[in-house]
Structure 1
Amino acid sequence: MSNTKPAVTVTHKPSGEYLDRETGELRPLERSTLKLMLKGWDIKKKIDALEAELKGINAHFIDGYGAPTSLIMPGVCRVAVAERESVKIVDEAKLQALLGERFKDLVKASTKYAPTEQLQEIASSADDPLAKPLRKLLSVAKSETVTWRAEK
């Protein structure tokens, strides 16, 4: 557990205002609302600190065990380390020029262009003449995640 200090220390009577966005009128906040705001802000800061601490713990599992791994503590929890990979198109116009008519078949059209499995296979092929120029037009991203679950 982290030794974090309270995020907010109030040494004076808190005050605050409510802004009515329709009228632009400022009204004083009730004491109960101010207390909830302070409590919420304190919780938010604690969550941020704990998320940072958990990120460090997750990094330890990624660096120490790698993916794919499951760390199991019977009756307590299971920690799963996984790796994800995504392929993105770097330059849509050049890819379209390179593929010509095949572009529509090899690329999923949406607000973003995404390579199909077939296009990824072509780019990975040692025999396909399009492979080398394709690799310049695609980027591969990998990420690792750690998932926590209760263990029975």
Structure 2
Amino acid sequence: MPMQNIAICGSMTFIEQMRALCNELEAKGHRVFLPQDDEFDYQMRNAEAQIARKQKYIDDHLTKIRMSDAVLIANYDKHGVAGYIGPNTLMEMAFAYALGKEIWLLHAPGAQACQVEVLGLQPTVLEGFLQHLPNK
């Protein structure tokens, strides 16, 4: 596969796994964008500060998606849901879809509220292996 710009998306619960994916992709010659690691203490801030901080994180990551050729969704199991995709990740997937970017899911999405919407974005499911990335 030729070098690509890839934005990794997923629940921040999975940031360590996303870093490992980043390292693996960079070792293959890709340029990788990770979401900003959120060390903001939302419990210690008022609602206005929380919203402003979240907006900045969203804007920053959407810019990274815009600069990418594809998005890789790091969707591991969470809350008893296989291949969990949360609201921010679904939003990022829809943004990538609207821009015509390739969407790769690390795992098939399990039964969850947004499962049909996720599949409607026509992602490529990698079955847990980066070796299954499409060769383009």
TM-score (norm 2): 0.24
Select the structure that is richer in strand: 1
TM-score (norm 1): 0.22
Q: Which has the larger radius of gyration?
A: 1
